[in-house]
Structure 1
Amino acid sequence: MNAEQLIFYFFAIMLLLSALVVVTSYNLVRSIFLFFVTLFALAAIYVFALADFIALTQVVLYAGGVLILMLFAFMLSNKELLNALKPVKKSFELNHFLGFFIALAFLLILLRLFFGNDFSQLEWIKSSTPISKNDNTIHAIGIQSMTRYLLPFEILSVFLMMSLVGAAHLARKGKKL
């Protein structure tokens, strides 16, 4: 096993463990910070897959934007609202059983598809060209987003601005309209 594989397995294990703690933790602050670790580990996995633009987007948008927005929403939230939350029951109820059953069914379907198909024989995989380390995918994505996809790109920026204004309005102290 070489150094690249060890680093990949380190990030994969870190990704799985931190994601598991995010889902199972009852402490909201701990979940938010471990979500930060999860996002960075996922970005590292993207780097190993030679998806440099996706890794950079993962760090900038999710870790830099969404996670910070979650932290601000938590810090600026009303104390009375947080104190009014009821403690979570730790018993296994019917809705937990149904959610577990649906998740297990999806897992079995995915495993059957994964082990039942030969992915190397799919036409779109056979016709694709492999990505090399010298490919400049960021340059191609930048040209496409500023020419062909300029209107959706600008609409997305307006939606992000609207969500920022909405978050600032919700966090504002004083009387609500």
Structure 2
Amino acid sequence: MSAEQIVFYFFAALTLISAFLVVNMQNLVRSIFLFFVTIFSLAAMFVFAHADFIAVTQVVIYVGGVLVLMLFAFMLSNRELLSGLEQFTSGFKIAHLAGLLICAGMFFLLYSAISSANVTNLPWIKNSHAIGQNDNTIHQIGIHTMTRYLLPFEVVSVFLMMALIGAAHLARKEKRS
């Protein structure tokens, strides 16, 4: 096993472990900071896949926008909301089952759509080649983003939407009676 493979597997394991801890962490601040670790390790995996633009874009968008927004929403939220988060019970409820079924259904739908698509026979993809020194890199990045890296691109968009909804929920002020 080469050193490059060892580093890749390290970042893959770090991504999986930190993502698991983000979901299962009870403390919101620690979960947000573990999300930083997940983002940076996923960006490192994109670098190994020779998708430098996607890696840099992911770090800039997530760290520069979404996570800072989440941290500000957490810091500006009222204490009643935070105390309600600490008293959350971790038992399994029927709502969790419904969420898991919806998530599995959406994953199956996205996977079947991507696996059944025959993107290699499109003429604008057949004419694409490796990026040369004098080539239009924006054109090549667009082709690779919409073909080879479509699934990570869509996952990033779903995460951005989830982060926006979560930050808006945390920053929302409750009416006092």
TM bracket, shorter-chain basis: 0.5 to 0.7
**Paired residues of 1:50 and 1:131 also in contact (CA < 8 A):** no
Task: After TM superposition, list the pairs within 5 Å mapping 1:62-73 onto structure 2.
Answer: 62-73=62-73
- Which structure ranks higher in relative contact order (CA pairs < 8 Å, sequence separation ≥ 6)? 2
Provide the C-alpha distance between the structure 2 equivalents of 1:25 and 1:128, rounded to a whole number of angstroms.
47
Q: Percent identity at matched positions?
A: 48
What's the counterpart of residue 41 of structure 2? 41
Q: Do the aligned partners of residues 131 and 46 (structure 1) sit closer, same or farther apart at CA in structure 2, a change above 3 Å counting?
A: farther
**Would you say 1:81 and 2:81 are equivalent positions?**
yes
Which aligned segments of 4 or more residues in structure 1 are displaced greater than 3 angstroms?
102-114, 116-119, 128-132, 134-137, 139-142
Task: After TM superposition, list the pairs within 5 Å mapping 1:153-164 onto structure 2.
Answer: none
Amino acid at match of 1:64: G
Counterpart among 81, 106, 121 of residue 123 in structure 1:
121
Structure ID, larger Rg: 1
Long gaps (5+) in structure 1 = 145-162, 172-177
What's the counterpart of residue 141 of structure 1? 138
**Paired residues of 1:8 and 1:45 also in contact (CA < 8 A):** yes
Q: Do the aligned partners of residues 126 and 102 (structure 1) sit closer, same or farther apart at CA in structure 2, a change above 3 Å counting?
A: same
2:35 is paired with a residue whose SS is: helix
1:90 is paired with a residue whose SS is: coil
Q: Do the aligned partners of residues 2 and 135 (structure 1) sit closer, same or farther apart at CA in structure 2, a change above 3 Å counting?
A: farther
What's the counterpart of residue 50 of structure 1? 50
Provide the C-alpha distance between the structure 2 equivalents of 1:65 and 1:2, rounded to a whole number of angstroms.
36
CA RMSD of aligned residues (A): 3.7
Amino acid at match of 1:32: I
Provide the C-alpha distance between the structure 2 equivalents of 1:76 and 1:128, rounded to a whole number of angstroms.
51
Give 1:107 deviation, angstroms: 5.0
Give 1:117 deviation, angstroms: 6.6
**Paired residues of 1:19 and 1:35 also in contact (CA < 8 A):** yes
Long gaps (5+) in structure 2 = 142-163, 173-177
Matched residue pairs, number? 143
Provide the C-alpha distance between the structure 2 equivalents of 1:13 and 1:135, rounded to a whole number of angstroms.
35
Provide the C-alpha distance between the structure 2 equivalents of 1:100 and 1:136, rounded to a whole number of angstroms.
48
